[in-house]
Amino acid sequence: MTDADATDVELRAARPDDRPFITEMLAAAVNWAPGRSSTLDQILADPALAHYVTGWMRPGDLGVVAASADGTPVGAAWLRHFSEDDPGYGFVRADVPELSIGVRAAARGHGIGRALLRAVLATARRGGIPAVLLSVERANAAARLYAAEGFRVIATEVDADTMLIDLH
């Protein structure tokens, strides 16, 4: 899939059996920069990364999967709640879930990430979630997407920002 765009994909709610694909999309998110090549085993061995997918689908998890016309998944966006005892990278409080999003490299740059983002945020709004946060490296082009969709920087690290969007 090299030239598909957001109009060529179908968005559907993520399901418990999507865990392998969501794990693959976590790897896509981790390996966003050319030259990065963390394997699934390396990612799952790192508790700070693995908890974004471990036990998928827990109560409170929600997500959206984008699939091509033949049903092949090409991207996913999902939300997970974390606790103060097991925070995500951008943790602010337990009622604010963290967003993860990944799109297969061949499908990037065609609006699929934006469609996934909008769909997962709409689902969160309908579910009464007050806000969503994420952590993104500043060099990642996705940071511009998040800002354009209404996320604002609430904390900065050396190379990354924590961003939040209010949903009410």
Q: In three state form, how does the secondary structure of the chain look?
A: CCCCCHHHCEEEECCHHHHHHHHHHHHHHHCCCCCCCCCHHHHHHCHHHHCCCCCCCCCCCEEEEEECCCCCEEEEEEEECCECCECCCCCCCCCCCEEEEEECHHHCCCCHHHHHHHHHHHHHHHCCCCEEEEEEECCCCHHHHHHHCCCEEEEECCCEEEEEEECC
Instruction: Quote the pTM value.
Output: 0.90
- Tens of pLDDT along 101-135? 999 988 888 899 999 999 999 999 999 999 999 99
| 57 pLDDT higher than 70 | yes
- Tens of pLDDT along 62-108? 999 999 988 899 999 999 999 888 888 778 888 999 999 999 988 88
Q: Find, among 127, 25, 125, the residue nearest to 150 by Cα.
A: 125
What amino acid is encoded at 47 in this protein? Answer: P
d(CA 109, CA 56): 27
Q: Which residues contact 2 (CB under 8 A, 6 or more apart)?
A: 106
Place of tokens 């009410």: 168
| 136 pLDDT higher than 80 | yes
Which pLDDT score, from 0 to 100, does residue 1 have?
39
- Tens of pLDDT along 1-42? 344 556 688 999 999 999 999 999 999 999 887 777 888 888
Which pLDDT score, from 0 to 100, does residue 115 have?
94
At the topology level, CATH places domain 6-166 in Aminopeptidase (3.40.630)
Domain ranges of the chain: 6-166
